[in-house]
Structure 1
Amino acid sequence: MVRLLGFANIPTEAVNWFVGAVIVVSLIIAWVVDDIMHEFAFGVVGNAVLLAAGAIGGLALWNQYGQPVKNTDPMVIAAVCIGSAFGLILSLAVARRIVT
């Protein structure tokens, strides 16, 4: 998984800090998203899991099909993570709205 995310040459401590930050920020943002989306949300924990999965999945796809993470500007990495996280939760909320 570390190679998939492009963190093969980055120290383990830095990777752990990144994953921890993604989890904490996902919980905080999930609380806000749950309050905004009301009945279309997935609960605070569900939103946090979806946000974290979207961020990590987007970063993995960027590394695999875009540019290697070590050659990418950190602001672009942050934008990819944020965009893919909100894209995942928005697409699943729209799918939930269509199904129900």
Structure 2
Amino acid sequence: MEERAQRFWAELAAAYKSAGRPTLGRLVRLGKQQSPQVEIAVSTLNDWLNGRTVPRRDYDRYVMALVDFLQQEAARAGSGYARRSEGWWQQLLAAARQEREAAR
């Protein structure tokens, strides 16, 4: 039933793995580098990466920075990960969020 949410989680996990699985602490610091800063908890990141929750709308800017960072790291590592556009990620995230909200 949750096909789009599953796809979001699978794509995020693939980007994370291809980037060499950076520490969650590093990903928290990524939020602090945003302007304005984004406060993100390790538990929140863990829930996203392990398919427990879909990011809320107020995290959209951070999610786009996160996937950009992961994709850059994957390219730097030469992992062969197929980079996706920001628009593609935004559409997938919106569809996953809509699906999860409809299931409530």
TM-score by length of 2: 0.33
Greater RCO (CA < 8 Å, at least 6 residues apart): 2
Larger Rg: 1
Higher helix proportion (structure 1 or 2): 1
